Chain A
Amino acid sequence: MRRAVDKFIANNKKGTFVLQLTAMVDMFTILIVFLLKSFDTSPVQVSPSQNIILPHSYSMAVPSEVLKVAISKKSIVVGDKEVVILIDGKVDAKDMDLSDPKFIKPLFDALDEQAKKTEAISKENKDHKFDGQIILQADKGLNYGILEKVFYTSSMAGYTDMKLATITYE
């Protein structure tokens, strides 16, 4: 009888086992805390446009919800609409005003249309004011020459307050 009991005990191995999850939960907790810290809570999200590498800056000012103008080496985009095609970062002569070498006509038309829209909205809704602000996303490799033309044309359309979009690393 005694031998039978010993044999039973020796053969009685459990088919299941308990996983030690404590270390894994510890790791996940650290990961979640890190991700929560990196979580961007600003109400306005500005994503860098395609074909644009933004310059690096130490500025920590959070962008506000205003009209976005993106300048890559290939085009100028107002909002989501491509308005000017650039050739290697330069404006084609047909888009320039012959009498004014800094004036980009299609860009002015697009900005003027946006300004009129905003002014029309502000007549209905007094909280929505036209403040002439633009967030400018420009590729870091562009020369100031093209930016100067965009600044000039924007100011002609009433957009005089430029915010330059930059990237900052955590």
Chain B
Amino acid sequence: MRRKKLITRNDTEATFELDLAPMLALMVTLIPIMLLATSFVKVRVIGTVLPQAVQEAIQQDKQKLSKTITIDLQMNKDDFKIIVKEDEKEILQKMVPPTDGKWDYDALHSALYDVKKQFPDKYTVNLYPAQSVPYSEVVHAIDAAREAKKTEDTFSVFDKEKQKNIQTRIMFPEVSFSGLIGG
């Protein structure tokens, strides 16, 4: 009986109110700082951040003494022309006609994808844009050449370190603006 009385005397509420005011003060300070520091539009560069094996393959492609195959991409007023040369002799030519009077980037991507399938060791495209082509369109053309789409097949690259083939979507990450000298 006495024990029961003791328990009743110390019986406090099982729940309690959290004091959220300091946390709220912290958040009110933190949110404006983060809003100021956060950039929703980020500046990136068109470069080559590639897996090791793919980078090695590109280096091999660059250093190859018997470098005979070149892929040229001419960007005209509203269409594209892909020319593949072997020892300066034209072996393949593809035209990408305009759609609704504009450059057709999907068709360009498909054409370059087919070229990549034929020449999987090549990673460089020589780009020849016409003087009147806007810069944004040149960037779109580079984007179309860079990677295969997720729905498309990947390409095999031999990884010397692991002694096995690895799969990559990378098509032509190296774009060289050609025709600067003597053009």
In the complex, what residues of A have CB within 8 A of residue B132's CB?
Answer: 143-145
Secondary structure at chain A's binding surface: helix, strand, loop or mixed?
Answer: mixed
Give the distance to chain B from A137, nearest Cβ to Cβ, in Å: 8
Classify chain B: how many residues form its interface, as a range.
35 or more
* Closest B residue, CB atoms, query A24: B24
Within B10-61, which residues are at the interface with A (CB < 8 Å)?
A: 17, 20-21, 23-24, 27-28, 30-31, 34-35, 37-49
Give the distance to chain A from B117, nearest Cβ to Cβ, in Å: 21
**CB <8 Å contact, B134 and A144:** yes
**CB <8 Å contact, A152 and B131:** no
Neighbour of B180 across the interface among A62, A141, A151, CB < 8 A? A151
**CB <8 Å contact, A28 and B24:** yes
Nearest first, the 7 A-B pairs at minimum CB distance are A140-B136, A145-B131, A61-B47, A55-B136, A163-B45, A28-B27, A35-B34
B-contacting residues of A (Cβ < 8 Å)?
A: 18, 21-22, 24-25, 28-29, 31-32, 35-36, 38-40, 46-48, 54-63, 102, 135, 137-145, 147-148, 151-152, 155, 162-170
A-contacting residues of B (Cβ < 8 Å)?
A: 17, 20-21, 23-24, 27-28, 30-31, 34-35, 37-49, 129-136, 138-140, 142-143, 146-147, 177, 179-181
A selection of 20 A-B contacts at a CB cut-off of 8 Å is A21-B21, A25-B23, A28-B31, A32-B34, A35-B38, A38-B38, A57-B46, A59-B146, A61-B47, A138-B135, A140-B135, A140-B136, A141-B134, A142-B135, A143-B131, A144-B129, A144-B135, A163-B47, A166-B45, A170-B40
